Amino acid sequence: MHRPATESPSLSAPHRSTGASTGAEPTQPSTPKTSDGRWPRRQDRPATTAAHRRPGRLLRRPRQSEETRKPLTTFEKLGVLPEITDALSAVGIVDAFPIQEMTLPIALTGTDLIGQARTGTGKTLAFAIPILQRIVSPHDPDFLELAAPGKPQALVVAPTRELALQVNGDLELAGAKRGTRTVTVYGGVGYEPQLEALVRGVEIVVGTPGRLLDLADRRALDLSHVKVLVLDEADEMLDLGFLPDVERLLRKTPELRQTMLFSATMRGEVVSLARTHMRHPVNVRAESFGEGEIVPATAQFVYQTHDLDKTECLAKILQADDRGRSIIFTRTKRQAQRVADDLADRGFPAAALHGDMAQIAREKALKRFREGTVEILVATDVAARGIDVERVTHVINYTCPEDEKNYVHRIGRTGRAGASGVAITFVDWPDITRWKVINRALDLPFEDPPETYSTSEHLYHDLGIPPDATGRVGPSRDVDGTATPRRQPAAPRRTDRSSPSANQPREGREGRERRKRNRTRTRHRLGEQTTDGAASSTTAAGGSSGQAGRRPVGAGASDVTGTDSSGATTTQRSRRRRSRSRSRSGSTESGQTGQSVQQPQPTPSD
Lowest mean pLDDT among 13-22, 111-120, 268-277, 423-432: 13-22
pLDDT 10s digits, 205-223: 999 999 999 999 999 999 9
Q: Is 188 helix (H, G, I), strand (E, B) or coil?
A: coil
* Interacting residues of 532 by C-beta distance below 8 A, sequence separation 6+: 520, 521, 523, 569, 571
To the question of pTM greater than 0.85 for the whole model, the response is: no
Q: How confident is the model at residue 516 (pLDDT cuts 50, 70, 90)?
A: low
Nearest of 422, 414, 420 to residue 120 by alpha carbon: 414
**Best-predicted range by mean pLDDT (217-221, 292-296, 570-574):** 217-221
Partner residues linked to 185 by β-bridges = 207
Predicted local distance difference test score (pLDDT) of residue 7: 39
pLDDT at residue 514 is higher than 80: no
E strand map for 62-161: 113-116, 154-157
b/e for 109-123, b at 16 or more Cβ within 10 A?
A: eebbbbbbbbbbbbb
CA–CA separation, 588 vs 593, rounded Å? Answer: 9
Residue 508 DSSP symbol: T
Predicted local distance difference test score (pLDDT) of residue 484: 52
What does the chain come to in residues?
606
Q: How confident is the model at residue 273 (pLDDT cuts 50, 70, 90)?
A: confident
pLDDT 10s digits, 152-188: 999 999 988 888 988 999 999 999 999 899 999 998 8
Nearest of 174, 179, 204 to residue 84 by alpha carbon: 174
**What's the first-to-final CA gap in the chain, in angstroms?**
117
Predicted local distance difference test score (pLDDT) of residue 328: 94
Degrees to nearest 5, angle at CA 268 with 228 and 445: 115
pLDDT 10s digits, 454-471: 999 999 999 999 999 998
Q: How confident is the model at residue 24 (pLDDT cuts 50, 70, 90)?
A: very low
CA–CA separation, 524 vs 522, rounded Å? Answer: 7
Top-confidence residue, 49 or 41: 41
The average pLDDT across 52-72 equals: 39
Nearest of 328, 300, 288 to residue 424 by alpha carbon: 300
Lowest mean pLDDT among 50-64, 125-139, 473-487: 50-64
pLDDT at residue 489 is higher than 70: no
Contact 423, 298 (CB under 8 A): yes
pLDDT at residue 287 is higher than 60: yes
Half-sphere exposure for 137 (CA within 13 Å, toward CB): 18
Structural domains of the chain, ranges and CATH numbers in brackets: 82-285 (3.40.50.300), 292-483 (3.40.50.300)
Contact 382, 239 (CB under 8 A): no
